[in-house]
Every structure is written in structure tokens, then in C-alpha cells.
Amino acid sequence: MAARTVKLAVIPGDGIGPEVVAEGLKVLEVAAARHDLAVETTEYELGARLWHRTGETLPDSVAAELAGHEAVYLGAVGDPTVPSGVLERGLLLRLRFDFDHYVNLRPVRLYPGVESPLAGATPEDIDMLVVREGTEGPYAGAGGVLRKGTPHEVATQDSVNTRFGVERLVRFAFAKAAERPRKKLTLVHKDNVLTFAGELWQRVVREVGAEFPQVCVDYCHVDAAAMFFVNQPARFDVVVTDNLFGDIITDIGAAITGGIGLAASGNINPGGTFPSMFEPVHGSAPDIAGQGKADPTATVLSAALLLDHLGVPEAARRLEAAVAADLKTRTPGEARSTSRIGDDLAARVAE
């Protein structure tokens, strides 16, 4: 019997979500077992089907049950039959906000053997960690509309940035930077234009930075950062940024490291008051759903972030090593099915 059992809530979600989560769980369970950890899962049917049946995205009773788990593992939400944003806001963002996932952790790593669209890029060039804010900024949902439908209509959309929210994120990012060999932290913002928010972010980075004299601090406007992700990715080690900038630059990060099929993320509540949530960066890809074509690797790598969060880094490294080994063997155009990739990864983890 395993020394410890973790209670994991599983939300397969929509589109390819169920397929990739099935493989993620397969690999996660083997990796956990190798390190004396059992995984007890409870599955929740949330997403488009529930919404069509009941009009609900996240019933309060379900939210309360989820809160009783140590972590949440999510596939993807979103479906063409549901108006844009309903599931994203009603389920995904609601969980991030309700569970105070103020750290959205997104590693951007080029694995050996993976083809980057950037000519000549090597794994040494691209190895960063984006620490994206997850509970405020432009995602606050603040704003409004005046005189809708008239020529005088005005729609506003407000970014809300708090000292509390920025400081705890920035401190987390510095701590991560301090643990890494390069010890470099880059703030990405647009302080020459977004002066109110930008000045707060800059000041917090300066003040918290005083606690981390070993970390080298840099600043980059978001437009320049977007460019440097493409033509000088080696500039970056840890990147700290707001919710919207983080959304954009981590998709560039996914693009330069071989695509969204490999990009993992963790929505972390560092204090542990609420369960953290792990999910691939990609969406539900309804066009290829149910065909066994989806690459489960991003979901598997998200399980590595989960294992790290649970304090079992050896299992996380084992899982990442399995992925790294698998990626090295891939050939362009090979067409292993979703479950075959999961089987292969599970077998490597079991080795």
C-alpha cells in the first residue's frame, strides 16, 4: 500500500479534454506509485454538456466538493455550441478566482529533439518559467457599456491591480528565480503607457527585489518581450507579468517550443488554502475531438507540475524524463494515437 493517498478532482471537460486527461492520469498514477503515492480520483462532469442540460457552469455544490480535494486536474473547456466566454469565465476563470490561483505557472522549455519553428534554436536557448498573475488585472471582469447599440456607445474594460495581489506574485517569482541557476527575473509590462498599473508593478519589483539581492532584475516592455521571445529567447529566465500579458506571451512561448501540444500549466494557490489546478495550455480543439489525434503530452507535463506541487519532485522529474525521452524519438509526421502516446509514456515511467 502507498504511504500516502492524494485526493484529486478530475475535470475532463470538453473536446479533446477527456482523451488527454485519461492519458495524463494513466501516466500520473504510474509515476506517483513509483514514489509511494496513491492517487484517488473523483471525476466531475463540467463543461458544455452540463451547461446544455442545466444552464450551469459550476454548481455551488460542485465547487464546494472540489474545494475538498488536494488538487484539480483539468483537460480543457470550451465548445462551439456554447457562446464564447461562457465556459471560460463560468468554469475555468471562476475556479482560478474562487480558488485564489494567483500564480499561473507556465514553463517554456524547448525539449531536445523537438523542432522549434525558430531556425537554429537549441534547448539551451529556451528555458524559462513564466509566472503569470491569475486573479486580477484585466481579467477582473470590471468595466461596462454605455448607450449600447447607439452611435455614442462606450465600452470600458478595466484592469485592477492591487499591491497585495502584485506583491505576493512577485515574491513567488523572485523565490523561483533564486532557485534557478541563472537567477534572473524579467518584469514584463508596458509602464510607459499603462502608467498607473505599470508604476505599481515596477515599484513592487524594486521593493521585493531588495529581499533577493542574488537575483538579477530586468524589465521589458510587453511589445519588445513578444519580439524577443521570437528572436532572442535566451534573454529570459523567470518572467513575471500580469494576467493578460502572461496569456499572450505564454502562447508565444508555446509556439517557439514546438506548439501548444506540449505546453503545461499550473494554477497555484501557494498557501494551500484551496486546491491548485493543473491543465494543459491548449484548448478543447473540437475539430479533432474523439479521434485519438490529440497529443496528451501537455496534460502529462501538467501532471509533473502537480507532482511538484504535492511535494514529490522525484516523481515529477521521472515523468518529465519520460516525456523528454519520448520526444527524442518522435519523427515528423508520425501518427501515434493519443492513447498510444500515453501507453508509451506510462511504460517509460514504469521502467
- Which residues of this protein are in contact with its own copies, per CB under 8 A? 84-85, 88-89, 93, 115-120, 138-139, 141-145, 147, 150-164, 190-200, 222-224, 226-228, 230-231, 244, 247-252, 254-256, 259-260
Q: In whole angstroms, how close is the CB of 142 to its own copies at the nearest point?
A: 8
Considering only residues 60-89, where is the footprint of ligand IPM by CB under 6 A?
Answer: 88
State the residue for C-alpha cell 448607450.
Answer: 147
Among 9, 82, 92, 249, the residue binding ligand IPM under the rule CB under 6 A is 92
Per the annotation, the verdict on 223 as an active-site residue is yes
271 binds, among ligand IPM, its own copies, none (CB under 5 to 8 A by kind): none
What is the nearest approach in angstroms of ligand IPM to the Cβ of residue 279? 7
Q: Residue 190: in which H helix or E strand, if any?
A: none
> Would you call 190 a catalytic residue per the annotation?
yes
Angle between helices 313-329 and 297-309 (to 10 degrees): 160
Residues 234 and 124: their CA atoms lie apart, in Å, by 8
Q: CB under 5 to 8 A by kind: which of ligand IPM, its own copies, none does 144 bind?
A: its own copies
Nearest to 159 by CA among 187, 191, 186: 191
The rounded Cα 211 to chain-centroid distance in angstroms is: 27
237 is a catalytic site residue: no
Q: Binds 259, which of ligand IPM, its own copies, none (CB < 5 to 8 A, cut-off by type)?
A: its own copies
**45: Cα within 13 Å, side-chain hemisphere:** 6
Interaction partner, residue 145 (its own copies, ligand IPM, none; CB < 5-8 Å by kind): its own copies
CB of 220 to ligand IPM, least distance (A): 12
Laid out side by side, the sheet with 264-268 consists of: 37-43, 4-13, 71-76, 276-280, 264-268, 103-109, 127-133, 238-241, 184-189, 216-221
Q: Which of 218, 251, 343, 344 is catalytic?
A: 251
Q: Which is nearer to ligand IPM, 209 or 258 (CB)?
A: 258
- Which residue in the block uniquely carries the three cell numbers 465547487? 63
How many other CB atoms are found less than 10 A from the CB of residue 310? 20
Residues with active-site annotation: 139, 190, 223, 247, 251
